[in-house]
Amino acid sequence: MLKASALYIVIVIALVIGLLCSSLIVVAYFYRLQYQRTFRQDRLQNNLNSGINILIAAPGDDLTNEKTFSLFGGEADSVSLKKTAWGLYDVGLSKSFIQKDSLYKAFLIANAIDSTKWAALYIIDEDRPLSVSGKTILKGDVYIAKAGVKGAYVDNKGYQGDKRLVQGKILNSNKELPSLNAGRLKRIEQYFSQSGSINNDILRKDTLNNSFLTETYTARFGKKVETLQNINLNGNIILFSDTTLTIENTAHLDNIMIFAKAIVVKSGFKGTCQLFATDSVSIGRDCVFNYPSSISVSRFQQSKTRSPMLLNVGENTSISGVLFTYDKYYDREKQALIDLGKNAAITGQVYSQGMLGLKDGIVIKGSVFTNRFLYQSSFTRYENYIINTTINSTALSPYYLGSDLIPVSAGEKKILQWLETN
């Protein structure tokens, strides 16, 4: 009886030991799978980061066509890289893959600021002084005419700012503005020279999100005046118009680009986009353009009417990014005008190949390049006067990244914004 029960006990113990051993084998198997998966993900992530670094360091148009290759040899370290121009910036796309596993990131690439060229103000030398009046603040280095800077009385009110007039170094400017980057201007010109059949299907949509991993969605409106309203557009989207395009405040735009003859943005608009026009841009009051937006009026062909280009910014509007005008066939008698409304706030860079119009209460955190200032009071027009305006280069974040278009950009490129990741 005792021997039989002992046999049962042995069988039970053997069964328990077998279950324990099986469990250990299963745990070891799954641990190994998890370890291999983690190792593979880490390797994919490292390869992805290597691809990103290659894209950032790649000069010019080296990777405009997607290129797939192995980082270290063999199929286990394959990456696919592509870099394309996206308005004032570049879009980088890095993919790493091992068999069916893959990771990708799409991001904007921009340039750091060259501290040796950075200045609050650059105004060309027209052999006359710069006059400041009212509660004006100029903080940072300035490049002005040899005639210097002086306080002035306007409407029976004198200068009420810092006694130094300029809180920074005063340097001599040249007769012309430092030139914009020719390569970036050429890329922008290529957008305006593109042609294609009319496609306005986008106007019948209420939402469109287009990944930067796919082909660019292009809408062309031709010579028909159109309006964007009650629509949400996000990502890899470009709109073209041969005439005026109006953007209502019910349109939500995120990282898209628009090219048109004239662009009208209604009051109260909020979004992030790049707007390029050849004749004019009119922005209403109380608008908010988030970083990194850009707004410009550029001409690459001679205009038949030769009407001056105009970029008008309404009262209380805030813009974070770049504003600029450029005329390939510059005419000193018909200079472009960037006209900033009362209490407008600009965080970034302003480049006016012409005149910069100012009103009371304007705050510019960054830098200004212009041929001439224009201040229009109720009764008088003042040229090269800065009145009740703040231009402060030190107020701009040290992490601010700009476009290589602007003369103060450095050669160092960095990631401006993550667009898509997995």
Domain boundary among 93, 113, 133: 113
Number of domains in the chain: 2
Residues 72 and 211 in one domain: no
pLDDT of residue 327: 92
Which sign does the torsion angle of CA 151, 155, 156, 157 carry? negative
Q: Which of 72, 30, 26 is nearest to 50 (CA)?
A: 72
User: In order along the chain (422 residues), what is the average pLDDT of each group of 10 residues?
Assistant: 66 81 76 65 84 85 78 76 93 87 91 91 94 94 94 87 92 94 93 86 91 93 94 96 96 96 97 96 97 95 80 97 93 88 96 94 96 85 92 94 92 92 84
Structural tokens at position 183: 């390569």
Distance in angstroms (rounded) separating the CA atoms of residues 342 and 261: 26
Tell me how many degrees the CA angle 132-310-128 measures, rounded to the nearest 5.
Answer: 30
Is residue 413 domain-resident? no
Q: Find the domain containing 351 and state its range.
A: 121-406
Note whether 416 and 89 are within 8 A (CB): yes
Note whether 208 and 233 are within 8 A (CB): yes
pLDDT of residue 39: 65
Is residue 25 domain-resident? yes
Residues 290 and 361 in one domain: yes
pLDDT of residue 92: 93
Note whether 135 and 388 are within 8 A (CB): yes
3-state secondary structure of 303: coil
pLDDT of residue 35: 55
pLDDT of residue 78: 84
pLDDT of residue 311: 97
Residues in CB range of 13: below 8 A, 6 or more apart = none
Note whether 147 and 173 are within 8 A (CB): no
Residues 258 and 181 in one domain: yes
pLDDT of residue 62: 65
Residue pointed to by tokens 């805030």: 318
Query: Model's pTM, two decimal places?
Result: 0.89
Residues 349 and 391 in one domain: yes
